Amino acid sequence: MRHEATEEDTSRMAATEPTKIRNIAVAGHRGVGKTSLVEALLFEAGKTNRLGTVEQGTTVSDWDEHEQRRAMSLSGSLCHLEWKDRKINLVDTPGDAGFQADTYAALRVVEGVVVVLSGVMGVEVNTSRVWQRAEEQELSRVLFVNMLDRERADFFRVLEAARRQLSDRCVAIQLPIGAEHELTGVVDLLHMCAYMDPSGAREGGPQPIPDSMADVVREHREKLLDAVVETDEELMGRYLEGEELDADAVAHALKQAVTRDELYPVACGVATKNLGTTALLDLLVEGVPSPAKKGTTIEFGDAKQAVFIFKTIADPFTGRISCFRVLAGPVTGDTTLVDPRTHAKERLGQVLLLQGKDSEPAEALGIGDLGAVAKLKDVVTGDVLVDHEVAVEPPHIDFPEPVMSFAVTPKAKGDEEKMATGLRRLHEEDPTLLLRRDPQTGEQLLSGISQMQVEVAVDRLSTRFHVEVELHPPRVPYKETIRKEARARHRYKKQTGGRGQFGDCAIVLEPLPAEDGELGYEFVDKIVGGVISQGYRPAVDKGIREAMEHGELAGAPVQGVRVLLVDGMEHNVDSSEMAFKIAGSMAFKEAYQQADPVLLEPIMELEVTVPDDTVGAVNGDLNSRRGRLQGMEPAGGMTTIKAEVPMAEILTYSQALTSMTGGRGDYAMHFLRYEEVPTHVAQKIIEQTKKEREEAKV
Ligand SMILES: Nc1nc2c(ncn2[C@@H]2O[C@H](COP(=O)(O)OP(=O)(O)OP(=O)(O)O)[C@@H](O)[C@H]2O)c(=O)[nH]1
Ligand SMILES: [Mg+2]
């Protein structure tokens, strides 16, 4: 259910009315000019006095030092501007696959998305992903074909690609005048005017459309009108009667169509020259719904005040900053809300408006508005805060799963706690960055979506938390199991003076088939006639479990075993739990050797998306990594390859993929099942373990 704002909600405070707000995420593939576009929009609207650049690290939204060093966005950035009496909140999102957590969270708090495309590359992997997400959230979308000044840029080719690959309801609302280095301006097909290239200055206001454009403008204006009137019966009637439709009437119908996701207008320009921003801003105001029109799907029960936290910035000095959307309000400073997740009261000291890293205090924020607040106690991204406790289900933000892990160690001994604290703070900022201890290997594992994401975390640990750490490939969590039945009997006996030790047990090992893909363990007590008394039998089980923690082949845990305790003997003075535990453990080790033990390894399902011309190389490489091809799906110049690959072979896949595809490849993987390691590979692992054990002994 979408909650719609009513007038009464907003009349109490000097907050911006929901009808006058536009919440827009700027999203798309990596490096298509999203940050540059946000910079240009802020500049055109008079929020800044100069057009910053990504190269020089002077943009409003890439304010973080690591973003500036890498010349790319690493997290979402909240900005706002005023245009034609409307407040436009912009969330600049990162395009890199490793940093999509913020992008996905941002899509929960906006009504509209400006999907930015490169005029050269067109629809790319992350363009489609973002599109898909926006589709799921039923968000209104506007496309912006950027970089039209670049060599080989072609607006019409990209328009066709978008119509083919994203939706056939994409329709041009602007056209470029000229192309590549001869691009001189853009035409606004809605208001039938032109804007000439301001070369980085403010745009100079509407101009007449050059005569040379007459034919192509007529053709595309007709397509636009056809598309718009098709969604509006009344307008269709007037149009068919030959009436000249004015821009307001068309804009009104367009907004309705964009609101209902029936049309996706395609705008264009050059972000770094500030070309196309006036027409785009007009379109955001006139063509994209406000929170009053579209509202939110996030639940807040009957709360009179409610906010949804969509982003957390962790700073060691200023503390935690939480960005939120007002669900019910207005919300002012000095308000106390409650977090139903923790039941804790959270006091909102000062409500802030963010402009990249800068903030200014706001008196009140109304329904639908986006803002921030500092120093909340236990709030995490995804929480809903309300004025009184209501049972609400916090929205599920379907963050991507971490796919790669690195073992992480501090360079200086004793820095373990500092490292863990820093990583916990970074996890608050980016929920897809996880630190956990591998129960099997004991290593601290830092997991994320891409290697770069993990490396950025390491850089941030150094600059923000002053801990230097090292990354290592993690150990593969091997397992061991048995292939056949075996039996053994062990008598543990020490009877030299005083009270001795005596435990004796006979066991049978059997392979235990996996249940739902999980290998288990079962202990079956088959003792008859009480040859071992009841009290000692669990000790045998315990001894066996301990022995199974480190199998004899490669020290990996043993699973998939059923143990039958079939016989034994006890001594009425010398028997003890300890003696039976040792006997159980020894009997297991003896039987295990004869039960045809094998090594198991995790198999991952891998999905690699690469440019068509690299498919051969990528497949060949997967083959050499013991990969098994499951299928290939080409779409729009890219092919998605599905394969099953042993985890051990893709621990360092990202470097290989980058070099094979020139950085244009992308992959994701998840755990599938355990499989037996082929003998020749297993042999090497077993020998390696042996060597390590011997070295450890010396
Ligand atoms: N020629 C040209 N270059 C552009 C244009 N827009 C952006 N660039 C350049 O392209 C590069 C990437 O621009 P960004 O604005 O960082 O792109 P982004 O989409 O924000 O990138 P990520 O946030 O890392 O995904 C920078 O070097 C920009 O200067 C454009 O319209 N024309
Ligand atoms: Mg960016």
Distance in Å, CA 526 to ligand 2 centroid: 66
Is 272 near ligand 1, meaning CB less than 6 Å away? yes
Per-residue pLDDT reduced to its tens digit, 271-290: 999 999 999 999 999 989 99
Mean pLDDT of 458-464: 94
Write out the two tokens for 458: 């390491």
Mutate to test the pocket of ligand 1, among 126, 197, 272 (most ligand atoms within 8 A of CB): 272
Rg (alpha carbons) of the chain, rounded to whole number:
32
Relative to the alpha carbon of 99, which ligand is closest? 1
Q: Which residue has the higher pLDDT, 145 or 697?
A: 145
Distance in angstroms (rounded) separating the CA atoms of residues 585 and 583: 5
Per-residue pLDDT reduced to its tens digit, 342-364: 999 999 989 999 999 999 999 99
Write the residue with the smallest CA distance to atom 14 of ligand 1. 33
C-alpha distances out from residue 278 to 202, 452, 467, 499, Å: 9, 36, 46, 94
Residue 329 DSSP one-character state: S
pLDDT at 7: 43
Distance in angstroms (rounded) separating the CA atoms of residues 281 and 85: 12
- 629 CB neighbour count, 10 Å cutoff: 13
Residue 54 DSSP one-character state: T
Strand order from edge to edge, sheet including 185-188: 174-177, 185-188, 193-196
- 209 CB neighbour count, 10 Å cutoff: 19
Mean pLDDT of 116-144: 93
pLDDT at 469: 97
DSSP letters for 162-192: HHHHT-TTEEESEEEES-GGG--EEEETTTT
Residue type present at position 513:
P
Distance in angstroms (rounded) separating the CA atoms of residues 325 and 684: 55
Is 34 near ligand 1, meaning CB less than 6 Å away? yes
Per-residue pLDDT reduced to its tens digit, 392-406: 888 888 888 777 789
Distance in angstroms (rounded) separating the CA atoms of residues 448 and 454: 6
HSE toward the beta carbon, residue 408, CA cutoff 13 A? 31
Q: Which residue has the higher pLDDT, 309 or 439?
A: 309
Per-residue pLDDT reduced to its tens digit, 90-113: 999 999 988 999 999 999 999 999
Distance in angstroms (rounded) separating the CA atoms of residues 385 and 600: 47
Write out the two tokens for 433: 């960055």
Smallest CA-to-CA distance from 608 within 576, 631, 626 is with: 631
Is 136 near ligand 1, meaning CB less than 6 Å away? no
* Confidence class for position 13, pLDDT limits 50, 70, 90: very low
pLDDT at 616: 96
Burial class (CB in 10 A: 0-12, 13-18, 19+), 350: middle
- 395 CB neighbour count, 10 Å cutoff: 18
Beta bridge partners of 142: 114
pLDDT at 11: 38
Smallest CA-to-CA distance from 493 within 399, 608, 574, 425 is with: 574
Per-residue pLDDT reduced to its tens digit, 44-60: 999 999 999 999 999 99
Mean of the per-residue pLDDT values of the chain = 92
Smallest CA-to-CA distance from 368 within 665, 19, 84 is with: 19
Structure pTM?
0.80
pLDDT at 423: 94
Is 94 near ligand 1, meaning CB less than 6 Å away? yes
Is 274 near ligand 1, meaning CB less than 6 Å away? no
Distance in Å, CA 440 to ligand 2 centroid: 39
Distance in Å, CA 158 to ligand 1 centroid: 17
Is 150 near ligand 1, meaning CB less than 6 Å away? yes
Atom of ligand 1 nearest to the CA of 275: 31
